[in-house]
């Protein structure tokens, strides 16, 4: 039996990822530069080491932009787009079902603790989670498995009795490397990306019967 769930945050619980891409894509277009999803996808679900969309126009293309003004404009546009977003379908249903079944719940996010906790509070779901692990807690974020390993230890769970809920290739890679079962619910952006690690994929979490997942029958069928 499954004894716990560990959720990614960005793009999984609420779709922050699509809003980020649109904000950057539109800002780049204003300067005559196309930001492709393929290029942007390298920083989805991980840090900005491989591709930093805040700095690329200045460091790589040498455009004379004010870095802080550019950053602020991106954040303003992201905030505007996020006003249209809500908790993703099926998430609340699974949180309630897990609590009723006395299963353990955690968060493993490559974002900062301040960012994650702010949005969990806004959604009113902070108290569901016994453990929250973020980029503040690890040396390497996803696709490195450390976030999931720390969350498992925090929750006192074994990998084989835990399900990761993810939306991105980097996240599913991290979950697989840590030995967890993984359910992927791609969002508007990540559904176009290639997932190479073992996982079960569905368009919305509410399409998966909770008891079927907890019994592990879902993963035995895979």
pLDDT digits 0-9 by tens, 123-173: 999 999 999 999 999 999 999 999 999 999 999 999 999 999 999 999 999
Task: Tell me the pLDDT band of 222, cut-offs 50, 70 and 90.
Answer: low
Q: Which two tokens stand for residue 31?
A: 């300067």
Length, in residues, of the chain: 222
Taking residues 47-52, report their average pLDDT.
81
Q: Is 164 helix (H, G, I), strand (E, B) or coil?
A: strand
pLDDT at 19 over 80: yes
Q: What is the pTM of this model?
A: 0.89
pLDDT at 185 over 70: yes
As annotated, the active-site residues are 8, 10
The architecture (CATH level 2) of 4-15+87-221 comes to 3-Layer(aba) Sandwich (3.40)
How many other CB atoms sit within 10 Å of the CB of residue 72? 11
Q: Which two tokens stand for residue 64?
A: 């004379």
Taking residues 175-192, report their average pLDDT.
92
Between 214 and 217, the more confident residue is 214
Domain boundaries, the chain: 4-15+87-221, 16-82
Q: What is the mean pLDDT of the chain?
A: 93
% of the chain surpassing 90 pLDDT: 77
- Model pLDDT, residue 121: 95
- Model pLDDT, residue 44: 82
Q: How far apart are CA 59 and CA 90, in angstroms?
A: 41
């Amino acid at each position: 039996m499954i004894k716990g769930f560990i959720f990614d945050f960005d793009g999984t619980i609420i779709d922050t990822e699509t809003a980020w891409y649109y904000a950057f894509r539109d800002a780049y277009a204003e300067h005559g530069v196309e930001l492709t999803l393929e290029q942007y996808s390298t920083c989805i679900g991980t840090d900005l080491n491989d591709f930093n969309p805040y700095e690329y126009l200045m460091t790589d293309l040498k455009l004379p932009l004010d870095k802080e003004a550019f950053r602020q404009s991106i954040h303003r546009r992201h905030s505007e787009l996020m006003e249209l977003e809500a908790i993703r379908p099926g998430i609340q249903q699974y949180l309630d079902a897990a609590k009723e079944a006395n299963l353990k719940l955690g968060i493993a996010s490559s974002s900062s603790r301040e960012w994650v906790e702010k949005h969990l509070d806004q959604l009113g779901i902070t108290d569901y989670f016994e453990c929250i692990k973020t980029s503040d807690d690890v040396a390497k974020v996803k696709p490195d498995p450390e976030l999931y390993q720390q969350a498992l230890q925090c929750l006192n769970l074994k990998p084989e009795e835990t399900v990761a809920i993810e939306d991105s290739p980097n996240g599913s890679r991290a979950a697989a490397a840590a030995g967890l079962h993984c359910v992927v619910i791609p969002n508007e952006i990540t559904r176009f990306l290639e997932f190479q690690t073992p996982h079960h994929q569905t368009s919305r979490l509410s399409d998966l019967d909770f008891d079927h997942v907890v019994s592990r029958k879902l993963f035995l069928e895979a």
